[in-house]
């Protein structure tokens, strides 16, 4: 009990200290500096309506590249650690009839919905990460419902790599055309969709990148699910 009490006292001190710091950052006040610039210029500079998306993909695109890499590392790492000579699914009970029928019916629509989320990232809330996660939940559902279902590993792994390369390549094309890495050549140089702000065909390379991210997140998360579900079997 002594240890618990000590831990709680330490935590309360930390909490008090944090609250002291936060008192200097009052809640609900306008302290925007760089953010105000984003809000003022987002429409003409990136063509996106959703400012968060514009910040994530365009202004701070480097972060997102890193973020995609982190997810890639996770999927690679899980694959590396759970790698065995021969692994199979060991689930024994098939899902109930409601689950299997429902899954057959719903899985394509869930994937479609995920695709919708990431394609419309520059207009509505959402974007590549929730979209990709939604696609992964469709695969999760398939895994739950059917005992023998497996994702096509080879294809998924190749898609993962190729899509990641496509992201870097988009950046490198920007370097070649505009002279800057991750330069938005579709919007800034071609001016594609300038009259279309607020509709689907606008936003420069944001939809392109978000499609890439959506595919990548979807394949990676399904790969993680697959790796976690399969167990080693002896020959």
Q: How many CA atoms lie within 13 A of 145 on its CB side?
A: 17
Q: Report which of 149, 114, 144 is spatially closest to residue 129, judged by C-alpha positions.
A: 114
How many CB atoms within 10 Å of residue 90?
11
Is residue 71 involved in binding another protein (CB under 8 A)? Answer: yes
- Whole-angstrom distance, CA of residue 3 vs CA of residue 7: 6
Q: Is 228 in the site for another protein (CB under 8 A)?
A: yes
The closest alpha carbon to 165, from 226, 215, 127, belongs to 215
* Cα 169 → chain centroid: 19
Q: Which is nearer to another protein, 96 or 124 (CB)?
A: 124
Q: 8 or 104: whose CB is closer to another protein?
A: 8
Site size for another protein (CB under 8 A) = 112
User: With binding defined as CB under 8 A, does residue 47 bind another protein?
Assistant: no
Which residue stretch of 81-89, 93-101, 104-112 sits at the interface with another protein (rule: CB under 8 A)? Answer: 81-89
Residue 139 makes contact with another protein by CB under 8 A:
no
Of 101 and 176, which CB lies nearer to another protein in the complex structure? 176
One character per residue 142-181, x = contact with another protein (rule: CB under 8 A): ---------------xx-xxx-xx--xx-xx-xx--xxxx
Question: Which of 47, 95, 127, 207: binder of another protein (CB under 8 A)?
Answer: 127
Nearest residue (CB) to another protein, 38 versus 119: 38
By CB under 8 A, is residue 112 in contact with another protein? no
Produce one character per residue of 127-152: b if its CB has 16 or more CB atoms within 10 Å, e if not: bbbbbbbbbbbbbbbbbbbbeeeebe
Run of H or E residues at 155 = helix 153-178
The nearer residue to another protein, 200 or 228, going by C-beta atoms, is 228
């Amino acid at each position: 009990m002594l240890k618990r009490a000590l831990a709680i006292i330490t935590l309360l001190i930390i909490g008090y200290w944090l609250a002291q710091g936060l008192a200097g950052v009052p809640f609900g006040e306008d302290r925007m500096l760089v953010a105000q610039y984003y809000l003022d210029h987002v429409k003409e500079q990136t063509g996106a309506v959703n400012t968060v998306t514009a910040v994530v993909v365009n202004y701070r695109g480097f972060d997102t590249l890193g973020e995609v890499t982190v997810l890639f590392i996770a999927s690679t790492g899980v694959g590396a650690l759970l790698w065995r000579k021969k692994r199979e699914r060991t689930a024994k009970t098939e899902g109930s009839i409601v689950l299997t029928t429902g899954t057959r019916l719903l899985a394509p629509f869930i994937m479609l919905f995920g695709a919708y989320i990431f394609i419309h990232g520059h207009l509505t809330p959402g974007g590549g990460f929730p979209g990709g996660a939604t696609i992964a939940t469709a695969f999760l559902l398939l895994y739950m419902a059917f005992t023998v279902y497996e994702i096509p590993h080879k294809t998924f792994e190749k898609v993962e790599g190729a899509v990641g390369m496509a992201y870097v390549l988009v950046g490198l094309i920007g370097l070649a055309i505009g002279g800057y890495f991750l330069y938005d050549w579709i919007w800034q140089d071609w001016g594609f969709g300038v009259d279309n702000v607020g509709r689907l065909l606008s936003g420069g390379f944001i939809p392109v990148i978000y499609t890439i991210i959506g595919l990548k997140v979807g394949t990676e998360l399904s790969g993680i699910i697959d790796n976690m579900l399969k167990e080693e079997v002896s020959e």
